[in-house]
A and B are shown apart, each in its own frame.
Chain A
């Protein structure tokens, strides 16, 4: 304990601290964090490791459990067309959803960041769908998308466009999923808004003195300054894209013709429809590995494009076009 005190000068000066420590012994901090330790072991680490174990077994919910080695994984890759199909659908969804989600959330955040009257109203309007249950959202969208009676097609018909039967058309069902998912992007928008509010105003002032137009200001000031937020949102979007399940279960049930049969749904059905627990655990681990790899790659690449202002000395300013503040003196 003495060693720890040396590490923390603040506690060293506080003599009465020792009183408390004597009464509680060295166990006090562990008692405080005990709920998390217990929960972590029982609801996270235990299940995590156990799911790895299960993935090497043929493990029905009732009946004989047999060790099958890598068979589940081999079957997945070589003998299960649904695996590939659902994986491709999820990748396609992610490729559409992730960039659009970022663009929409950032666009809305930038709109809200303008000095306007009633910003609280607009903020609420954009965030509203995120407050509502995914089930309710799915119900609303199934009605909006209705080919015959839906308002979306009515809206399109006003412009002379004949809309498809969104959820029953294999060409459009995935797009419909993307649009419905984008509708609930509220928290990402708020996170961007917080990031935008953190950009010092004088950066823009000096940029405009330098003659930078709005577009150059966006790419040379806004984007570099919000890269940490961008990184966070990029990673959470990727994870969200891979976990998309509620909407698919309720809007299309994976159809039509499996065109919205996401990987998460494939996993869900293997586990809770066919009760192939071992096989589904293997599915889950494969998804985990994909998400980890993607996250790792994003993190790795972030060294080149994320700029931490003053927070991390390791950041390499040479990658960041932030020459504006330095030039301020010259122009002023």
Chain B
């Protein structure tokens, strides 16, 4: 009996979570006549896959895609390199002020972006970076607190004897990091890459504030342009919504065990 209630609740809740997504996909496939029927039809009578291509050509989405890919890849690469170096530094060295500095790392997670947003905008404006992709890429090359924390926690669990054995063999610190630590960090690095890729791909406020020329737009900005555009049907908006959601969904699908496992290793569980 208890099982039945549990399953019923699970199925009901997952329907609540999936139904709007399902609705978005079927809307994207409908013909304009079927869009505004009430009561709504769940499935289109004719599946118009051409909607996707048509919606994609309304704006230069190829260009937006290119910009988004550039930002996501470069920024993720930077995040991986810098966070690994910094996490290693905090995990494996004793130095003056280490604990205080690490506390500051953690404290920066508490600062809302809104507080630093305006001076950052002025800073990038001063550097001439507004309306370029740089503000969306460069800061990632200097690490982010959450990932540094996550990777440091992981490195701390690796036995020091490994480092020492390599050091006896004459390896320097960088070699130890590159040859011993990094190969063992695989799952954690995947987690960092996945989380950062998704947040980059999905970012809206960053591009909204730093970009103003359409040729520099990312996909999310392109999609938001549809709002208030006249003569665009809901099926075009939903088609783009579905298309730009595919990469994060695919990444999530292949990486879900790292995501679930990663949250358990962040040290915030009970």
Contacts and interface: CB of A to CB of B under 8 A. Distances in A.
Interface residues of A, number: 107
Interface in A112-139: 112, 114, 116, 120-129, 131-136, 139
Contacts of A35: 82, 85-86, 141-143
Nearest to B220: A135
Given A44-B116, A128-B17, A128-B21, A4 B264 contact: no
Interface residues of B, number: 93
A285 B119 CA distance: 12
A120 B96 CA distance: 46
Given A36-B82, A36-B105, A48-B115, A133 B89 contact: no
Given A33-B101, A139-B237, A128 B6 contact: no
Nearest to B148: A36
Contacts of A134: 202, 204, 220
Given A4-B95, A32-B88, A133 B263 contact: no
B224 to A, nearest CB: 5
A246 interface: yes
A4 B172 CA distance: 20
A329 interface: no
B90 interface: yes
B116 A116 contact: no
B204 A246 contact: yes
A115 B158 CA distance: 32
A309 B269 CA distance: 11
Interface stretch (A22-30, A67-75, A76-84, A170-178): A22-30
Given A47-B120, A124-B256, A154-B40, A133 B108 contact: no
B244 A10 contact: no
Contacts of A135: 202, 204, 220, 223-224
Interface string B230-270: 00001001100100110011001100100110011000111
Given A125-B17, A143-B24, A143-B238, A14 B167 contact: yes
Contacts of B198: 131
B104 interface: yes
Interface string B163-176: 01001101011000
A242 to B, nearest CB: 7
A218 interface: no
B112 A291 contact: yes
A96 interface: no
Nearest to B248: A131
B39 A154 contact: yes
A139 B142 contact: no
Contact of B245 (A26, A136, A141): A136
A227 B270 contact: yes
B85 A129 contact: no
Given A195-B269, A228-B268, A287-B112, A128 B18 contact: yes
Contacts of B248: 131-133
Given A33-B90, A40-B108, A51-B119, A194 B263 contact: yes
A103 B120 CA distance: 36
B115 A287 contact: yes
Chain B interface secondary structure, helix, strand, loop or mixed? helix
A47 B249 CA distance: 34
A29 B98 contact: yes
Interface in B72-97: 82, 85-86, 88-90, 93-96
A125 B10 CA distance: 10
Nearest to B261: A194
A250 B112 contact: no
B244 A133 contact: yes
Contacts of A325: none
Given A8-B94, A128-B249, A194-B263, A264 B10 contact: no
Interface stretch (A183-191, A204-212, A314-322): A183-191
A203 B148 CA distance: 35
A9 to B, nearest CB: 11
Contact of B117 (A123, A271, A309): A271
B60 interface: no
A94 interface: no
Nearest to B207: A135
Nearest to A10: B160
Given A47-B116, A232-B268, A271-B117, A140 B249 contact: no
7 contacts: A36-B142, A44-B108, A48-B119, A128-B17, A129-B17, A139-B227, A190-B263
Interface of B: 3, 6-7, 9-10, 13-14, 17-21, 23-24, 27, 35-40, 82, 85-86, 88-90, 93-96, 98, 101, 104-105, 108, 110-123, 125, 139, 141-143, 148, 160, 164, 167-168, 170, 172-173, 198, 201-202, 204-205, 208-209, 220, 223-224, 226-227, 234, 237-238, 241, 244-245, 248-249, 252-253, 256, 259-260, 263-264, 268-270
Q: 5 smallest A-B Cβ distances: which pairs? A: A39-B142, A32-B89, A29-B93, A133-B202, A47-B119
Interface of A: 4-5, 7-8, 10-11, 14, 16-17, 19-20, 23-24, 26, 28-33, 35-40, 42-44, 46-48, 50-51, 54, 61, 108, 111-112, 114, 116, 120-129, 131-136, 139-144, 148-149, 151, 154, 157, 183, 187, 190-191, 193-195, 197-199, 225-229, 232, 239, 242-243, 245-246, 249-250, 264, 267-268, 271-272, 277, 280-281, 284-285, 287-288, 291-292, 295, 309
